[in-house]
Structure 1
Amino acid sequence: MPIKAILTDIEGTTSSVRFVFDVLFPYAKAHLPQFVRERAAEPEVAAQLNAVRAESGETGAEPERVIEILLGWIAEDRKATPLKALQGMVWEQGYRSGEIQGHVYADAVQAMRYWQAVGYALYVYSSGSIQAQKLIFGYSEVGDLTSLFSGYFDTTSGGKREAASYARIADAIGLPAGDILFLSDVVQELDAAREAGLKTCGLAREGGSLAGHPTVASFTEILPENF
Structure 2
Amino acid sequence: MSIKAILTDIEGTTSSIAFVYEVLFPYAKLHLPDYVRACAEQEPQAQLLQAVRDEAQEPQADVERVIAILLQWMEGDVKATSLKTLQGLVWQQGYETGEIKGHVYPDAVTALHAWQQHGYALYVYSSGSVQAQKLIFGYSVAGDLTPLFSGYFDTTSGHKREQESYARIAQALDLPAEHILFLSDVVEELDAAQASGMRTCGLARNQGVLAGHVAVENFAQIDPAAF
Q: 1:208 matched to which residue of 2?
A: 208
Aligned counterparts of 1:67 and 1:110: Cα–Cα separation in 2:
40
Aligned counterparts of 2:83 and 2:48: Cα–Cα separation in 1:
8
1:45 maps to a residue whose letter is Q
Aligned counterparts of 2:60 and 2:83: Cα–Cα separation in 1:
18
Percentage identity across paired residues of the two chains: 67
How far the C-alpha of 1:117 sits from its partner, in A, is 0.4
Aligned counterparts of 2:175 and 2:10: Cα–Cα separation in 1:
22
**What SS is found at the alignment partner of 1:43?**
coil
TM-score, normalized by length of structure 2? 0.99
Aligned counterparts of 1:48 and 1:79: Cα–Cα separation in 2:
15
Q: 4+ residue runs of structure 1 moved beyond 4 angstroms?
A: none
Tell me if 1:143 matches 2:140.
no
Aligned counterparts of 2:42 and 2:90: Cα–Cα separation in 1:
14
Aligned counterparts of 2:174 and 2:149: Cα–Cα separation in 1:
15
Question: May I ask how many residue pairs the two structures share in their alignment?
Answer: 227
Q: 2:225 matched to which residue of 1?
A: 225
Matches within 5 A, 1:33-112: 33-112=33-112
Note the alpha carbon deviations across 1:84-139, whole angstroms, 9 max, x for none: 00000000000000000000000000000000001000000000000000000000
Q: Which runs of 5+ in 2 are unaligned?
A: none
How far the C-alpha of 1:44 sits from its partner, in A, is 2.0
Q: Which runs of 5+ in 1 are unaligned?
A: none
How far the C-alpha of 1:46 sits from its partner, in A, is 1.1
1:218 maps to a residue whose letter is N
**What SS is found at the alignment partner of 2:150?**
strand
1:193 maps to a residue whose letter is A
Q: 2:155 matched to which residue of 1?
A: 155
